[in-house]
Amino acid sequence: MFTQRSTRALFTAALPLVALTTVAACGNEKASDENASNAKAPGTVEVGGAPVTGVTWHVRSMTVNGTTTKAPDSAHLQFVSDKRVRGNYGCNDFDAQAEVDGDSVDLGKVRTTLMACADKKESAFEKSLARALADKNTVRADGDDRLTLTRANGDTVTLADEPEPDGATLTGTRWTVETLHHDDVAESLPKAARDRARLVFGEDGHVDARLGCNSGRAKATVRDGHIAFSALVSTKMGCVGDAAGVERAMKKVLGGDATVAYEIKGDTLTLTAPDGTGVGLTARKQKA
C-alpha cells in the first residue's frame, strides 16, 4: 500500500501525485533526414550524457560526510521518464515526480510504502538515501554502466546497471580502490585519485597492482582470511597530489612482507593491515 510523502520534509504528508501522461506531438510536417537521424528513441531519457531509461539502476553505496555505506540489495532507481522516477530506498518502494534535465535530477512529490525495516542499519540507510534523493543531484556517467549522484554538499550515491556479483572471487577480478580506511572510518578517494589504484590477484599466486602512479607486483599467499605479501617490486615514477596519498596507503598495505586481513562481501573487498589501516576495493566489470 502506498502512502503520500514529501521528499522535502521526509515522512510528512504530501499532495496527491499529478497524473503523468505522454503527449504525442501533432502536425503533419515531416522531420528532415538529419533531424531524424539525430533524434533519440521515443521515451529515451539522458542524464549526464548517458541514456538512463529502461535500466534498473541498483544503488551500490552512499557516501555521507566522507563515510561510505554499502546499500541494501533492494535499493534501486528507475528513470521512467524525465518527469517520473521510482524505486526502492532499501525497504520501502517509492514513486516520485521528478525533473530530469541535462546533468541533474530533482525529485518532487513522492509516494512511498510504509513497511518497517527489520534491520536498524537498513532503516538508517533508507532514511539517509531518501534525504539524499530529496535534494537536487548532479549526475555523472562513468561509462555506460555506472552513475554517480552528487548533492550540493558533496554527498554521493553510486548506482550501477546490474546487481552486485554474487560472491566475487579474490582471484581473476579487477579490484578498484574506492576507499581508504583508518580508525574504523572509510573515506572516499579524492576525485583526482579515482580509478588510479587497483589490484588483480592471479592464479599463479601473485598480485599485480596499480598503486596510484606506479605499477608493481608481489607474491600473495592466501590463508585463513589473511594474505601474506612478499616485498613489492614496482616502478619508480614520481607521484604528487591526491594520487600520491593513495599510493602511500597502498604501499603501506602491500609493502614490506606485509600480512593483512581480507574480507569479501558481495563485490567489495577490504584489506586491513595490523595497525587497522587499510583499503576498500570494488569488483569492476571487465569491458570487452
pLDDT over 80 (residue 37):
no
Q: What pLDDT is stored for residue 106 in this prediction?
A: 92
Cα–Cα distance between 156 and 150 in angstroms, integer? 4
Topology (CATH level 3) of domain 174-283: Lipocalin (2.40.128)
Q: Kindly state the average pLDDT of the residues 185-190.
A: 83
pTM comes to 0.48
Percent of the chain exceeding pLDDT 90 equals: 34
Burial of 67-101, coded b for 16+ CB within 10 Å and e otherwise, reads ebebbbebbbbbbbebbbbbbbbbbbebbbbbebe
The candidate with the shortest Cα–Cα distance to 270, out of 105, 68, 123, is: 68
pLDDT digits (tens, 9 = 90+) for 214-253: 999 999 999 888 999 988 898 988 888 888 989 988 988 8
CATH number of 2-19+44-160: 2.40.128.270
Q: Which grid coordinates are listed for 26? A: 501533432
End-to-end Cα spacing for the chain: 43
Cα–Cα distance between 8 and 11 in angstroms, integer? 9
Could you give the 3-state DSSP secondary structure of residue 265?
strand
The domain spans of the chain are: 2-19+44-160, 174-283
Output the CA torsion 258→261→266→267 (10° steps). -20
The candidate with the shortest Cα–Cα distance to 250, out of 283, 284, 204, 281, is: 281
pLDDT over 80 (residue 255):
no
Cα–Cα distance between 42 and 235 in angstroms, integer? 51
Mean pLDDT score across all residues of the chain: 79
pLDDT digits (tens, 9 = 90+) for 85-133: 999 999 899 999 999 888 899 999 999 998 888 788 889 999 999 999 9
Equal CATH topology for 2-19+44-160 and 174-283? yes
pLDDT over 80 (residue 40):
no
